[in-house]
Amino acid sequence: MTDKPAQTGPAVIQGYLRNLESSPGVYRMLDAQGAVLYVGKARDLKARVSNYARPTGHSGRIARMIRETHSMMFLTTRTETEALLLEQNLIKQLKPRYNVLLRDDKSFPNILVAKSHAFPQIKKHRGAKSEKGDYYGPFASAGAVNRTLNQLQRVFLLRNCSDSTFDSRTRPCLLFQIKRCSAPCVGRISESDYAGLVNDAERFLQGKTTAIQAHLAQEMAAAAEAMEYERAAALRDRIKALTAVQSVQAINPKGVPEADVIALHIESGQACVQVFFIRGNQSWGNRDFYPRLGGAESPDEVMQAFLLQFYDDKPPPRMILLSHGAEDPDLTAEVLSERARRKVDISVPQRGEKFELVTNALRNARESLARRMSESATQLRLLEGLAEAFDLPGPPRRIEVYDNSHIQGTAAVGGMIVAGAEGFIKSQYRKFNIKGTEITPGDDFGMMKEVLTRRFSRLLKEDPDRASEAWPDLLLIDGGAGQVSAVEGILADLGVEDIPIVGVAKGVDRDHGKEEFHRPGQRPMALRMNDPVLYFVQRLRDEAHRWAIGTHRAKRAKAFTASPLDEVPGVGAARKRALLAHFGSAKAVSRAGVADLQAVDGISDAMAQSIYDHFHDGH
């Protein structure tokens, strides 16, 4: 149902009512260009849409959304649960302007006790849980994981080396010397004793620290009685390390073995959500999120949207403690339980230890939002100063800064960073491997032309009407009048002539602080030495330089480790290792005959012929 009536607002919505059924489903509200303004779900589509058809009685946000509505689309579902799941999938895919949108979708790290080896390895893991072993998490950050791994090494002496490193060791490594590993790689501990350490470590991650401490104390007493004083001293050191670990835990809730504590604070149209992860009666860190609000949503509406989007790609815990209830708590709990394939309890505690956990998270949310709003206000003043300094029509919403990096033309890359009202937007950074074969090595103009042509050709293809926020309001180029003139010509050739361009040149003696700024058709200018806008532009340029150099170094390092075998079809990591182990070098492989290649483990007759043909042009 996608016909577009001539009217807009309540009139166009009213026109859909006679064909709607009173069934669960999802509706989309679209503007005149067909962009999705809002995605919503309803237990009764006809009743929900009829509310939008009323001319009055709406909040400012809803009224504005209705005025912009030019058409609607509908999808019916069998149940309200299906409608809720479909709504969240569409919100994540379409990112409508008036929906609450969780903008941080990074995965969280876990600790993996890998069980594919006789002596299990303990390590940090992020991503799909496809490797055999036991997973513990999520942790709020890589730092929280690393701290816990360090604690586990001190107390339980588990290895963190890879299987290949383990198999190649002939003597203990430094970790054994500093009492961070039991050196199973060289037989300093038996398989059964190491399994006992692994079991204790897993019990620690499950929160059973008291039982572990009592067990270690018994072992220490028995060792002392048997006059095994060296073993008793080692056990004493482990008990001391475990006691130190317990004393530095920030929050150790006795009555909450597993939960996510989620608190929401809304102020001045902005929101902060704090999530604390509690596993095994221990705090495993916290993360703050700043969901984009569509307008004057209620806390319950924001909380429900956050829960459904946050747990879209990660398993929810058995208990979720909230500062505000979800808009439809029963339905939300049903959806999360279905995703977890077990019961998920959602509650808003009013007293006791759980209430204290939520209160602590809420205080963190309030303080984090206050800091962010203060930083945003400072950033806005800088953007306003930038607009005044360079005669822009208004504070730029999106600034793109470009820089190139290479060594005498080799491993050439272009870098683009993005900044806006919230500071550096690192998810929008881009790198460009210079592909042009006609570019003279070291030709910065040619490299910049390729980068900008690729960037804006793609923008024009994906969004010719400039309806999205992907179009910049200002381009900063590292260079002087020549670079600015070249960039102006490149954009003019593409038909993009209304984006302000500013070149940042080092100025007199290439002194940091005496930068000159170049704009098309205008004389060079400078800012006073202590101007905050000058420091702001310097930070932008330096960040672009850092990004381009880092990308260049990564490309150069990859080139150093590249091998001719990487280009042979059908030769993966395992076959590459077998060939190098047999022949000693890639050059020796390239000179080998078919019969010699067939003698390598894992190389079939057909593969040997394929490798030979690759290095001998098929002859």
pLDDT, tens digit, 9 for 90 and up, residues 75-134: 999 888 888 889 988 988 888 888 888 876 567 888 899 988 999 999 998 888 888 999
Residue 219 lies in a domain: no
Most confident segment among 48-62, 205-219, 259-273, 462-476:
259-273
Which of 142-151, 327-336, 606-615 shows the lowest per-residue confidence on average (mean pLDDT)?
Answer: 142-151
DSSP secondary structure string for all residues of 552-582: HHHHHHHHHT--GGGGSTT--HHHHHHHHHH
Domain at 285, CATH number: 3.30.420.340
The answer to whether residues 297 and 178 belong to one domain is no
Residue 385 lies in a domain: no
Which of 16-25, 72-81, 406-415, 549-558 shows the lowest per-residue confidence on average (mean pLDDT)?
Answer: 406-415
Summarised one tens digit per residue, pLDDT across range 287-318 is 889 998 876 678 999 999 999 999 987 889 99
Q: What is the C-alpha separation between 175 and 158, in angstroms, rounded?
A: 10
User: What one-letter code names the amino acid at 98?
Assistant: Y
Q: Are strands 398-407 and 474-478 parallel, antiparallel or unpaired?
A: parallel
Looking at per-residue confidence, does 619 or 605 come out higher? Answer: 605
Residue 390 lies in a domain: no
Q: What is the C-alpha separation between 341 and 99, in angstroms, rounded?
A: 28
Identify whether the C-beta of residue 43 lies closer than 8 Å to the C-beta of residue 25. Answer: no
pLDDT, residue 566, reads: 73
Question: Of 94, 124, 142, which residue constitutes the final position of a domain?
Answer: 94
Q: What is the C-alpha separation between 209 and 241, in angstroms, rounded?
A: 12
pLDDT, residue 104, reads: 64
Tokens of 85: 């799941």
pLDDT, residue 252, reads: 60
The answer to whether residues 512 and 414 belong to one domain is yes
Percent above pLDDT 70 for the chain? 90
DSSP state for residue 243 in the 8-state scheme: H
pLDDT, residue 244, reads: 58
Residue 245 lies in a domain: no
Region 519-529: mean pLDDT is 88
Domain at 594, CATH number: 1.10.150.20
Identify whether the C-beta of residue 45 lies closer than 8 Å to the C-beta of residue 21. Answer: yes
Identify whether the C-beta of residue 604 lies closer than 8 Å to the C-beta of residue 589. Answer: no
Closest CA to 536 of 384, 323, 394, 409: 384
What residue ranges in 453-550 does DSSP mark as E strands?
474-478, 501-505, 516-518
State phi, psi for 29 to the nearest 5 degrees: -105, 125
The answer to whether residues 341 and 452 belong to one domain is no
Rounded to 10 deg, the angle between the 329-340 and 80-94 helix axes is 80
The radius of gyration of the chain from alpha carbons, rounded to an integer in Å, stands at: 31
Residue 222 lies in a domain: no
The answer to whether residues 80 and 45 belong to one domain is yes
Region 479-484: mean pLDDT is 86
Question: At residue 246, does pLDDT exceed 60?
Answer: no
The answer to whether residues 88 and 135 belong to one domain is no
Summarised one tens digit per residue, pLDDT across range 178-219 is 888 999 999 999 999 899 889 888 887 777 766 677 777 888
pLDDT band at 355 (very low <50, low <70, confident <90, very high): very high
Most confident segment among 148-157, 405-414, 447-456:
447-456
Q: What is the C-alpha separation between 279 and 287, in angstroms, rounded?
A: 15
Residue 240 lies in a domain: no
Return the H-helix or E-strand segment holding 607: helix 605-615
Q: What is the C-alpha separation between 131 and 99, in angstroms, rounded?
A: 37
pLDDT band at 616 (very low <50, low <70, confident <90, very high): confident
The answer to whether residues 427 and 551 belong to one domain is yes
Domain at 89, CATH number: 3.40.1440.10
Residue 248 lies in a domain: no
pLDDT, residue 2, reads: 45
The answer to whether residues 499 and 554 belong to one domain is yes
pLDDT, residue 39, reads: 93
Three-state SS for 121?
A: strand
Number of domains present in the structure of the chain = 5
How crowded is residue 442: how many other Cβ atoms within 10 Å of its Cβ?
14
Summarised one tens digit per residue, pLDDT across range 367-402 is 888 888 877 888 889 999 999 999 999 999 999 999
The answer to whether residues 548 and 572 belong to one domain is no
Summarised one tens digit per residue, pLDDT across range 532-576 is 899 899 989 999 989 888 877 777 666 655 677 777 888 887 888
Question: Of 207, 240, 271, which residue constitutes the final position of a domain?
Answer: 207
pLDDT, residue 153, reads: 83
Question: Of 147, 175, 207, which residue constitutes the final position of a domain?
Answer: 207
Residue 129 lies in a domain: yes
Region 601-610: mean pLDDT is 88
pLDDT, residue 512, reads: 60
Beta pairing partners, 41: 26
The answer to whether residues 469 and 518 belong to one domain is yes
pLDDT, residue 249, reads: 47
Identify whether the C-beta of residue 431 lies closer than 8 Å to the C-beta of residue 406. Answer: no
Tokens of 555: 């490309």
The answer to whether residues 449 and 544 belong to one domain is yes
State phi, psi for 379 to the nearest 5 degrees: -65, -40
The answer to whether residues 323 and 425 belong to one domain is no
Domain that holds residue 591: 564-615
The answer to whether residues 492 and 590 belong to one domain is no
Identify whether the C-beta of residue 1 lies closer than 8 Å to the C-beta of residue 58. Answer: no
Percent above pLDDT 90 for the chain? 25
pTM over 0.75: no
